[in-house]
Structure 1
Amino acid sequence: MSVVPSALSADNPVTEGDVHDAVAKLGFRVRDDEVDAFRTLLAAAHDTFEELSKLEEYHPPSHPERSPCENVRPGTVDNDLGSPWAYRFKLGPLTSTTTPSSTGTKCGSLLAGKTIVLKDNICVAGIPQSNGTNATPSWIPQMDATVVTRILGAGGRIVGTATCEALSCATVSNTAAVGPIFNPWAKGYSAGGSSSGVAALVGSQKSFDDNGMPVKVDMGLGADQRGSIRVPAAFCGLVGLKATFGLIPYTGVISCEPVLDHVGPMCTSVWDTALLLEAIAGKDGFDDRQMNAHELGEIKYSSNLREWYRKVVNPPGSKPLAGMRLAVITEAIDAPFVDETIKREVADVSKQLESLGASVTEVSIPCHITARSLWMGVCRQSLTSVALGNPHGRRCYYPPGFQATIIPWTQDKWDNLPPGMRNEFINGVYEREKYPNLYQKCMNLTLKVTQEYEKVFKDVDALVLPSVPWTAPKLFDRETATSMDQISSTFGQTLNTMQFNLTGHPAMSIPTGLAKDKTKSSDHLLPLSVQLVARLHGEETLLRIGYAYEKAFDWKSRFCE
C-alpha cells in the first residue's frame, strides 16, 4: 500500500457498509473474514484523500505581465451572424518584454496589431466558459491556456471567446445553447462546427460591438477532434490548420478525447496562419501529447515561408511548386456523400497546382476508409469515459473546476444535451459493455494505419482531397426538426477529416472558389475548399503549397458550376 495506515482521524466516517458498497459496484461480494481489514485500509485511504483535497491547487503560470481582462461582457445576438460571441473582453497587447520560457512569456511583435478570438473551450482566467452547452453550468477558469499566454507574449490582442457547438461535438452550427451561428456568406446557412463562432467572426471580418460599431477579428483559434477546425474553415472561406498531433500544446483547452485533441489557427490567409502557428507551436512542459514537438520558437514558420517564396519565384516566371509531388486520394473522392461540385473542384485545383509546377497524380490508400471506423471505435468509448468523470492516465494539467460542472450527470443535464451528443454517449456505453476490448484494438490498428500513410509520403510530398463533401448547408429548425433530422444533417461531413485526428498528420483546409449550395435552390455563393495533408511534422510543406496557391489565384473570383 502506498500510504501506511496509522492513527485514523477522530471523525473518520468509513464503515463496513462502505466496503460492501464499493465492492458491489465492482460487481462482486467481499468475504466476511476480510471486511474489517478492508474497512481499516479504506479508512486510512479516506484520511489521505481528505488531506489531498485540502491542498492548494497548482496552475501553470500565466504571462507575468498579464493584467485582468477588461470590459468583460457576455456576447449578444448579431443580426447577420446569430450568436457567435460567448464573451467579449480585451486582453493585451502587453507593453513590456520579459524572459522567454516554455509557456511563452516574451512580448514580441509577431502578432502585433492582430486581434484574436478563441473557441469557448480555451481557458482564459476569469472568463466564464460554457463549452457551448447549458446541459452543464458554466465555470470560470483560474488559469490561461498555454496558447493564450503565447499569443500575449507575441504581441497579440485577444478580443473574446467565440461560441462553439454543444460540448464541442457537432459539425453543424445549430447546437449551441445560445442559439444558431450563421455562415458569414449566407445567413441561415451553417458555419460548420464545432469551432463555429470562430469561423463566423473571422470569416465575416466584421462584427459589431454593443454600440453598433464594427469590430474586425483578424485571427482565431479553434479545436479539432474530427474536423472542427477544417470543416468550419471550409464552409466560411478560411484557412484552417490542424497541425501535427502535439505540436501545439493543448494545456488549458477542454479535452474531448486526448488522443484526438488538436488546437490550431483559423485565419483568412496562409500567411496569417504561419504567423499564428509560429507564435503558439512548441513544447510547454505540461502536455504529454507533445512528446515529439520542437521547442517554442525553434521553427520560424513565417520568415521561413517568406524566404522560401522569395527564392522560388526568382527569376521572374519561375514556378514556385516545381518539384513538388502531390497526389489525390482516390478513396477520398469516391467517399459517400461527396457532391459532384466538390469532385470537380478538387480536379480543377489540381490543374491549378500543376500550373504552379507541381506534379499531381492519384493514389489509392485503402486504410483511408478503415480509419473512419477506427475513429468511431476510439472516440465513442473514450469520449463517454471522459464525460462520465474518468479523465485519467495522463501526465498533463487538468483544469480544476470543469469536471465538477459535469459530474454527477442528472436527467436534466441529459435532456439538455443535443440529440447527437446523447447518441454518442449511448454508443460509447454500448461499446464499452459489449466490446470491452475494442478500444485497445482500434488504437493498435491506428498505429498500422499511421504507418501506411507515412509509406505514401515516401513518394509524395502532400495529399490533396476534399475538406468537406458539400458547400455549407442550410441550418435545420431546432424547434421542428426531429432528433434523427438533427443527427442526419451531419452524416458524411467529416469522412475525409477524421482520419488525420487519429493518425496525427498535419492537415490544412484552404479556400479555392465559390459555388451555389448543393441544392442549387438559391443564388447564395458559398466557399469551396480543398484539404492538404503532409507527413508528420510537415507543416512547412502545407504552408508552402497554400501560400503559393493564394499568391497565384484569387479564390473569391473563381466560380464553380
Structure 2
Amino acid sequence: MAKFPTVRTPTIEEVLDIAEGYGMTITVEDAESYRGLMEGTIASYHRLDDLDEPKLPVKYPRSTGYRPPPEENPYNAWYWKSEVKGRGGGPLKGKRVVLKDNICLAGVPMMNGATVLEGYVPDIDATVVTRILDAGGTIIGKAANTYLCFDGGSATTATGMVENPHKKGYTSGGSSAGSGVLVAIGEADMALGGDQGGSIRMPACWCGIYGHKPTHGTGSLHRDLPHRADPRPHRPDGALGERRGGPAPARSGPRQRFTELGATVDEISIPMHLDGPHIWNGIAVEGATAMMLKGNGFGTNWEGYYATSLIDAYARGWRSRPDDLSETVKTVMMLGEYMHRNYHGRYYAKAQNLSRRLRETYDAVLAEYDVLAMPTLPMLATELPAPDCSREHYVDVALNMLANTCPFDATGHPAMTVPCGKADDSPIGMMLIGKRYDDATVIQAAAAFETLGVFRT
C-alpha cells in the first residue's frame, strides 16, 4: 500500500494567493508552471518523512508527577511537581532543583505559562536538565512562569497570578516567577530560569534571593523554549573556575557597603545606560515576533536540536487560538508585525548595531573597575492587577520595571541581583555587573557582600 504523503503540492489557487501576498502579478498559466516546479522539491519533504529523526537520550528515570492542589501551592508558584533523581554523587548531590516551565523535562507536562501550550509533554531533556542530573542534583518539578515569558511581573501566568512570598497580593516578578518564589520559601534549594529582559533577576530581586544571569554564551540554551542551540561564541569552562575565595574585588561602582570589605568604591555615570532599554526594545519586539510567534519558538538558521513535537504543539496552539494569547503577547506581536511590514527590519538592525556600542561603553568602564553596582529594579514590588483593570494598567504592571535589567541582555554581560535591604515589607536588590566571561568576580563580590549580613529573607 502506498504511503499517503503528508506534504501535498499546493493548488493553483494557493500559488496565486501566495504570489499576491508578496505583491507579484502572475497569471493562471504562471501559477501552473510554478506549481510544477515546486513538485520536484516537495519530493524531498516526502523523503524527510521516511527518515528516522534522531532523538536525544533520556538518561534518568522519573515520575510523571502531578499538578499540585491549592493547599500545596498557596502562591501559585508551582506548575507541576515531579521527581527526577540524578547520579549518586557530584557537586549538586542532595540539592533540590526546580525548573522554569519553559525547559523541557521528558515525560513531564510543559506549559510555558500559556493556555495555547497546555497539554504538551516533551519527549526530550534539555541540556541543562542532563547537566543538573549528571552533577547529582534532584529535579523536583516545574515552576510556573508568565505567559510565554512576555511579562516581567507575575500576572499573566495562565495557571494563576504568582504572589510575592513577602507581601501577598503583590507581584513576585517575572517571567521566572515561580522559580523565585519556590527558592524564597525554601521548597527548592535552587531554580533555573531564563533571562532575556531580566526574567531571572527581577523575580529574584522582589523575592529577596540571589539571581544570576550568566555571560551570554556560558550556558547552554539547547531545548529550552524559546531558546535553541546558542549561536554565540561559547566559553562554558573557566567563567566560574577562578577566584572562588579571597577578598572582595579591588574596585566597584556606586557607593555601597563594599568599603567595609576593603574595596575602593567610586561613583560613576554611564549616560548611554539610559538608552539601553530603547536599544533592547528595538531588538526584542521584532525579534520575539519573528522567532517566538512566526518561528513557532524556534525560528530558522540555528544549529542544534529542534524539538519538532514542541514546534507542532505550539504552532497548532497559538495559531488556532490567537485570541487566548495574553495582552502582553498580543501587544508585542502586533507592534513587531507593524514594524516589519512598514520598516522592513531597519530598526531591528540598527538596534543590533547599537548594542555593540552599548557593550563597548560598559566594557570601557569595566576596564577600570571589577564590578558595577546599581539598583536591580527602579521600584518596590507592585500590586497585582485587579481582574477588571484596564488593558493599559495590566500591560504596565507587566513591563514597567525593565529599565536597569534589559540593557545587559542586549550586551551579554553577567549580572546578578543581591538582596541588600527591605522597605514596606518588600525586598530590595542590588545588581552587580561584571566583565563578560568573568562571572566568577561577580559571584565573589556577591559572596563578600553577603558576609555583611545586610539582608536575610
Structure-2-length-normalised TM-score: 0.92
Secondary structure, counterpart of 2:253 in structure 1: strand
Structure 2: state its 5+ residue gaps.
none
Q: How many Å apart are 1:34 and its aligned residue?
A: 4.6
Amino acid at match of 1:179: G
**Alignment of 1:86 onto 2:79:** yes
Q: How many Å apart are 1:247 and its aligned residue?
A: 0.7
**Alignment of 1:225 onto 2:196:** yes
Structure 1: state its 5+ residue gaps.
1-8, 96-107, 206-215, 259-285, 310-319, 329-349, 517-524
Amino acid at match of 1:425: M
Q: Are 2:218 and 2:239, in contact at CA under 8 Å, matched by a contact in 1? A: no
Secondary structure, counterpart of 1:292 in structure 2: coil
The equivalent position to 2:136 in structure 1, one of 146, 155, 164, is 155
Q: Are 1:184 and 1:191, in contact at CA under 8 Å, matched by a contact in 2? A: yes
Q: Are 1:81 and 1:200, in contact at CA under 8 Å, matched by a contact in 2? A: no
**Alignment of 1:325 onto 2:251:** yes
Secondary structure, counterpart of 2:252 in structure 1: strand
The equivalent position to 1:443 in structure 2, one of 344, 352, 355, is 352
- The aligned runs of 1:136-147 (5 Å cut-off) are 136-147=117-128
**Alignment of 1:535 onto 2:435:** yes
Amino acid at match of 2:441: T
The equivalent position to 2:277 in structure 1, one of 372, 376, 379, is 372
The equivalent position to 1:498 in structure 2, one of 387, 403, 406, is 406
**Alignment of 1:122 onto 2:103:** yes
Shift in CA distance, 17/72, structure 1 to aligned 2, threshold 3 Å: same
Shift in CA distance, 427/14, structure 1 to aligned 2, threshold 3 Å: closer
Q: Residues 364-402 of structure 1: CA distance to partner in whole angstroms, max 9, x if unpaired?
A: 222212221111111111111123332112112222222
Shift in CA distance, 56/78, structure 1 to aligned 2, threshold 3 Å: farther
- Percent identity, please: 29
Shift in CA distance, 355/411, structure 1 to aligned 2, threshold 3 Å: same
Partner of 2:331: 423
Give the whole-Å Cα distance in 1 for the aligned partners of 2:448 and 2:232.
29
Partner of 2:416: 508
Q: Are 1:12 and 1:47, in contact at CA under 8 Å, matched by a contact in 2? A: no
Partner of 1:335: none
Q: Are 1:14 and 1:46, in contact at CA under 8 Å, matched by a contact in 2? A: no
Give the whole-Å Cα distance in 2 for the aligned partners of 1:434 and 1:363.
40
The equivalent position to 2:300 in structure 1, one of 377, 392, 396, is 392
Give the whole-Å Cα distance in 2 for the aligned partners of 1:290 and 1:473.
35
Partner of 1:55: 51
- The aligned runs of 1:89-100 (5 Å cut-off) are 89-95=82-88
Q: How many Å apart are 1:445 and its aligned residue?
A: 1.4
Amino acid at match of 1:326: S
Shift in CA distance, 554/452, structure 1 to aligned 2, threshold 3 Å: closer
Secondary structure, counterpart of 2:142 in structure 1: strand
Partner of 1:546: 446
Q: Are 1:231 and 1:468, in contact at CA under 8 Å, matched by a contact in 2? A: yes
Q: Are 1:378 and 1:442, in contact at CA under 8 Å, matched by a contact in 2? A: yes
Give the whole-Å Cα distance in 2 for the aligned partners of 1:162 and 1:430.
33
Q: Are 1:507 and 1:534, in contact at CA under 8 Å, matched by a contact in 2? A: yes
Partner of 2:150: 169
Secondary structure, counterpart of 1:90 in structure 2: strand
**Alignment of 1:248 onto 2:244:** no
Shift in CA distance, 36/135, structure 1 to aligned 2, threshold 3 Å: closer
Give the whole-Å Cα distance in 1 for the aligned partners of 2:87 and 2:72.
33
Secondary structure, counterpart of 2:267 in structure 1: strand
Amino acid at match of 1:122: I
Partner of 1:466: 375
Shift in CA distance, 393/502, structure 1 to aligned 2, threshold 3 Å: same
Q: Residues 137-185 of structure 1: CA distance to partner in whole angstroms, max 9, x if unpaired?
A: 4311111000100000000000000110011111111211111111111
Q: How many Å apart are 1:438 and its aligned residue?
A: 1.4
Give the whole-Å Cα distance in 2 for the aligned partners of 1:17 and 1:416.
30
Shift in CA distance, 81/358, structure 1 to aligned 2, threshold 3 Å: farther
Q: How many Å apart are 1:14 and its aligned residue?
A: 4.5
Q: Are 1:389 and 1:403, in contact at CA under 8 Å, matched by a contact in 2? A: no
Q: Are 1:76 and 1:85, in contact at CA under 8 Å, matched by a contact in 2? A: no
Partner of 2:236: 294
Q: How many Å apart are 1:243 and its aligned residue?
A: 0.3
Q: Are 2:75 and 2:165, in contact at CA under 8 Å, matched by a contact in 1? A: no
Q: Are 2:151 and 2:399, in contact at CA under 8 Å, matched by a contact in 1? A: no
Q: Are 2:152 and 2:399, in contact at CA under 8 Å, matched by a contact in 1? A: no
Give the whole-Å Cα distance in 1 for the aligned partners of 2:63 and 2:274.
48
**Alignment of 1:235 onto 2:206:** yes
Amino acid at match of 2:291: V
Give the whole-Å Cα distance in 1 for the aligned partners of 2:363 and 2:240.
24
Secondary structure, counterpart of 1:135 in structure 2: helix
**Alignment of 1:184 onto 2:171:** no
Q: Residues 424-462 of structure 1: CA distance to partner in whole angstroms, max 9, x if unpaired?
A: 112111111222121111111112211121111111111
Amino acid at match of 2:206: F
Q: Are 1:384 and 1:429, in contact at CA under 8 Å, matched by a contact in 2? A: yes
Shift in CA distance, 529/21, structure 1 to aligned 2, threshold 3 Å: same
The equivalent position to 1:42 in structure 2, one of 38, 63, 67, is 38
Q: Are 2:210 and 2:416, in contact at CA under 8 Å, matched by a contact in 1? A: yes
Shift in CA distance, 351/135, structure 1 to aligned 2, threshold 3 Å: same
Give the whole-Å Cα distance in 2 for the aligned partners of 1:287 and 1:241.
20
Q: How many Å apart are 1:21 and its aligned residue?
A: 3.1
Secondary structure, counterpart of 1:30 in structure 2: coil
Amino acid at match of 1:169: F
Give the whole-Å Cα distance in 1 for the aligned partners of 2:189 and 2:318.
40
Q: How many Å apart are 1:78 and its aligned residue?
A: 4.2
**After the TM superposition, which of the residue ranges 421-430 and 401-410 deviates more from structure 2?**
401-410
Q: How many Å apart are 1:412 and its aligned residue?
A: 6.8
Secondary structure, counterpart of 1:552 in structure 2: coil
Amino acid at match of 2:410: L
Amino acid at match of 2:44: T
The equivalent position to 1:25 in structure 2, one of 21, 28, 46, is 21
Amino acid at match of 2:412: G
